[in-house]
Structure formats: C-alpha cells, structure tokens
Amino acid sequence: FNGIFGPYCSQSEVFGEVASTLVYKLFEGYNGTIFAYGQTGTGKTFTVEGDETGHDRSAKHGLIPQVLSLLFSLLEEMQDDCVSVQISFLEIYNELAYDLLGTVMPANSNKRDLPRVLVALAGNKTCITHGLSIHNAQSEYDARKLHLKGRMNKVMAETPCNGRSSRSHTIFTILLTRQEKDSEIVYKSKLNIVDLAGSERLSNEKSDNQRTRTKHINLSLHHLEGVIIALQKLKSNSSYVPYRNSLLTMILQDSLGGNCNTTMIATLSLEKDKLKESISTCRFAQRVIRVVNRPLINKEINNEALIRNLKKEIVQLKKSHHDFKEVL
C-alpha cells in the first residue's frame, strides 16, 4: 500500500496525502478519481463527505469540502486565465441511476421521484449519462451548496453495522475547463469523488426490501472486483473487461485502467468479529494497486481563439513588413 492512516488521523491528513495532488493536476488537464471502499460502518462516508454537525465542523470536513476549498483558492490565483467549474452528483441505488441535484426531495420521500439518469457506453467507450444535470459553480459557496443539496437526497438506512448508513453508490464530479490568456489551448479535466456503498451480509438483514437492496450492492461490488481482476489479466493477452456488467463500472470505466489518476481509500474495522471482511478489503486493495492507468493531458484547440491569435499574428507580420520596407 502507498500509505496507512491510523484510527486517530485527522481529516486534513487524509486530504493532504490522498487528494491535494489530484486537485493541482486538474489544472494541468489530468482527470482524477478517488473512491472509498470497505465494509459498512468503517468510515467511508465520513472520509468522503465529513460531518457537518456539532462543534468544530471544519476539522470534520471530508474530502469533498476540502477539495472544493483548495480548488477555489487556486482559482483566485489564476485571474488571468478563463476558468469554469461545473458540478454533477449521481447516485446508483438498486442498479438504477438518479440525479441528486435534479430537485430537492422532502425527507422520507420516494426515491422514484428523483430524476432518473440513463447510462450508456458510446462506440468509443465513452460513458454517456442522459439526464444528469450539470451546474455552474462560481464560488466555493456555490459548490458547497450543491454538495449539501445532493447529500440531502441520498438514500440512508439503518444497518446492523451502522445506525445511518449510505445504501447507495454516489459519484460527485467536478468538471474544470481552463484556457490561459492569449492561448488557443483549452484544458478540460474532471475529478470524481466516489463513496461506495458498504458490503453487508445478507444474513444480517431483516426484511425482504433490505435483502434485495443488499443483493444489489453486493452484486455491484462483485462486478467492480470482476473488472479489477480482468484488468490484471490484460497483461496475459486477455482483452475483454466486463465494464458493461453494472452501472458503476460503466461510469468508472475511465477511472479503471483508463485516462485517469485514480486513488483508492480502503476503510477497515478494528473489531475482531469483522476481521474476515477487513482481510477481504485489503485483498481487493492489493488487486487495485496492480491496475495500470494511462493518464493523459486532456486539451483541445479553441478555434475562435486560434483565429483571433492568427489575425493578431497577421497584423504583426504586416507591420514588420511595412517597417522593413521603410528602412529600405
């Protein structure tokens, strides 16, 4: 493993080691993904989201609030550049995708009232999310407000391991577009911060609805593991990777063996009766670290800026030509 955090490490320590470098690389045009994986009740959501209750809230800020804080502080230093930030927040629940920023849902409302998102893979293996809203964020306040709105719409439920557990996968995405002054090159990058639902034993669930939900979660995590195993076999001339087996793996296709800097956080329990699950998490992390990604700088030419700069160059050349003729 690249690092180990003890039970008393601070949220800022985790952010500094795991996420800060990915934020800086966003401005260079590199994609990034951070995903938290582990059994229910081991601290995934606290690590990713944080806790906004009680005193000293800033000390309990998770990765998302801290990423947004650093992102917008860096933006203030780039006033000469043209930069835009957009946010989306997607949830996968019972193998259906929902837009967490589509509308504000009342407490205890039906999940089917949230806007549905259709997920598909294009011919070039690009993931397309039909119906997922993308929101402009002009400031850290705007972005934090969007994050809070999405959190309020997440599916939470009681489990044997956690009194209020996230029972869905969520993907918070930051889209960054940057163009330097007097340049026709546009950098487009994204950062996914993923909170995976925790695995849970079916024998622990009491109702049919709970068992159905747990089956979907466990199957989704199983397909994620299947993709990781297949990516390891690519070295032995096996070319098929089953990204299409689940919504989660379709959406994270770039993050798993693709054009992305990806970091996994494995969360573990210190309890002896959870030892089997903790070992399973460690084994999965060992598989993930062997996957090879190929991150590239994502840039394109802004045709309008290119034409504008070429016109400037023509004017300068004409002036130089005129000055040269006068000298002669």
226 has binding-site annotation: no
Place of tokens 């934020």: 23
Angle between helices 11-18 and 63-76 (to 10 degrees): 60
Euclidean distance between CA atoms 243 and 224, whole angstroms: 8
Query: Could you tell me how many residues make up the chain?
Result: 328
φ/ψ (deg, to 5) at 72 = -75, -25
41 has binding-site annotation: yes
190 has binding-site annotation: no
Euclidean distance between CA atoms 212 and 207, whole angstroms: 9
Q: Which amino acid is at 231?
A: L
159 has binding-site annotation: no
50 has binding-site annotation: no
Element at 86 (helix H, strand E): strand 82-93
263 has binding-site annotation: no
> CA angle, corner 36, sides to 34 and 42, nearest 5?
155
40 has binding-site annotation: yes
Collapsing DSSP to helix, strand or coil, 295 comes out as coil
215 has binding-site annotation: no
Collapsing DSSP to helix, strand or coil, 75 comes out as helix
Report the binding-site residues.
Answer: 38-45
Report the binding-site residues for ATP.
Answer: 38-45
